[in-house]
Amino acid sequence: MMYFWLFVSVATVSLFLTAALRRYAMARSIIDVPNARSSHSIPTPRGGGVSIVVAFLLTLALLGQLGLVPLEYAVALGGAGALVAIVGFMDDHGHIAARWRLLGHFSAAVWALLWLKGLAPLRLFGVSFDLSWLGHVLAAFYLVWILNLYNFMDGIDGIASVEALLACLSASLLYVLTGFTDLVWPPLMLAAAVLGFLFWNFPPAKIFMGDAGSGFLGIALGVISLQVAWVSQDLFWAWLILLGVFIVDATVTLLRRLIRGDKVYEAHRSHAYQFASRQYGRHLPVTLAVAAINLFWLLPLAACVVLWQLDGALALIVAYVPLVLLAHRFHAGGVESA
């Protein structure tokens, strides 16, 4: 019962806080005005993702105070998330050079890993590997990549919110089914915070998430996935599967642009989901397609890993191959038409 009421309370706080942020953004002219690199066609307030940050961090502090989330976990997640959100908030209000953003991102990753004790040993095709210091370095790059790809993928109405909501709810379900109910609080409350924001962000969006929100979601999801790896390798693989749509689209796009010699730090509209939204002329079909892939493809495969001991690495390959083909079908990383 406590799950239900706290979920509703967090979602409600996020809902009303987003409304207040929308009024604030409009009053201060914090507006995304469409340009040649935009996927939207009308000026829209941005920065609404701060509601997710505030609602979740307040709840995380409460959960830590009640002893429902271990102190080390709460400090790792809250500290890293707050730092990334602050960097994103500053960037939303005035451009910050890429090198300083990256420094902030790596600082947040290192902070989280210090409290989480780095990367847990990984089991790959039945063999366990303890990568020691190299694993910690890879984990830092993993966190920075997850938070940045989340920023890259937040380009059409509702897509980033729907991805986070379904990944968190799916993971929460898997935690419960495998008996790790004590771990369910962070992903479940993050889902609640996102749900309140999604009311305003669902196509057609009335406010955008902004870098503060998208970066926060990316680092939060990354930290949650690394934390659970110390408890269950299967649940770590499940997280990688559940985030497959974003990981594959962003990675394929980046690799193709790197190979072509593009300046990857420049804004662009060459992700698969962006090409798809232009092809269909609307954001809604693409956002709903992402939801369907999560529910009917990725969640069942993740369940096979945690409930029926399907090898995590093998399941990841099975999950990603169709996504890679789909990314190529929609020209991820391809040259944008004039």
SS3 per-residue string spanning the chain: CHHHHHHHHHHHHHHHHHHHHHHHHHHCCCEECCCCCCCCCCCEECCCCHHHHHHHHHHHHHHHHCCCCCHHHHHHHHHHHHHHHHHHHHHHHCCCCHHHHHHHHHHHHHHHHHHHCCCCCEEECCEEECCHHHHHHHHHHHHHHHHHHHHHHCCCCCHHHHHHHHHHHHHHHHHHHCCCHHHCHHHHHHHHHHHHHHHHHCCCCCCCCHHHHHHHHHHHHHHHHHHHHCCCHHHHHHHHHHCHHHHHHHHHHHHHHHHHCCCCCCCCCCCHHHHHHHHHCCCHHHHHHHHHHHHHHHHHHHHHHHHHCCCHHHHHHHHHHHHHHHHHHCCCCCCCCC
Read off the pLDDT of each residue in 180-192 and give the average, rounded to a whole number.
Answer: 97
pLDDT tops 90 at residue 3: no
Q: What are phi and psi of 120, to 5 degrees?
A: -70, 155
pLDDT tops 70 at residue 163: yes
What pLDDT sits at residue 338?
Answer: 46
pLDDT tops 80 at residue 178: yes
Q: Are 272 and 252 in contact (CB under 8 A)?
A: yes
Could you report the per-residue pLDDT of 8-17, keeping only the tens digit for each? 999 999 999 9
Could you report the per-residue pLDDT of 105-134, keeping only the tens digit for each? 999 999 999 999 999 988 887 777 888 889
Could you report the per-residue pLDDT of 42-58, keeping only the tens digit for each? 778 888 999 999 999 99
More confident residue, 32 or 234: 234
Could you report the per-residue pLDDT of 255-267, keeping only the tens digit for each? 999 888 787 777 7
Whole-number average pLDDT of the chain = 92
What pLDDT sits at residue 263?
Answer: 75
